[in-house]
Structure 1
């Protein structure tokens, strides 16, 4: 009885020690950078955004030079400026090209532009960027995409 108890305790300690070792060194993805990252739009107002065939996906890039914003709405290209301090983020008036697109894409474009206009805060968790309004309500979720 004492031997089986000793073996059980030894196994538990050994397995517990291994688990702590694995957990301690488990790989977690580092947070992506807000600036100079290609951010692909995944959701708007908790609704998934689906890219149309043969059309550029909706995305933004906040360039470090002159706090310049560039991207695509999934229909038209966009450009503008951004300002961020700590976790605060605002997008200044955004200009877009004026191509006509299918109705679903135009609705998605308008929702994206409204979300960008209402953005006041941001948070990055790994490869996901969440944009929120002044009340902390989620507006959009974007995913970092590495182009090469």
Structure 2
């Protein structure tokens, strides 16, 4: 949906993208990158004694993975406009495969195009929702085409 121009996007449009397997390496690299070494993510013994019974992926890793799953055409996407209502509703485990489901819920006109609001759902291989958010992207209008009579 972010590969289309603003005037081509309709409220209710929906699509599912991706298929990214969350690996132990992803979790360890994300911990190193962010400095978030909470033992639920990086310590197998600690995590085994937790309510989850094993290591879980960082919520922000799960959310960050969504950004690479859906198409964002540089001709149409002008800017990331914001995100609200982020919730991590189920844990994501090592070897879970995630997809992102986007549904257009609103559009707001702006001078250069408009803001497309989507309901974002991250789902695992069992089609369980593991994270949700409301995302907004500033999207360009279709270029004006001038026809020359001839």
Q: TM-score, normalising length from structure 1?
A: 0.28
Bigger radius of gyration among the two: 1
**Whose helix fraction is larger, Structure 1's or Structure 2's?**
1
Q: Which has the higher contact order (CA 8 A, sep 6+)?
A: 2
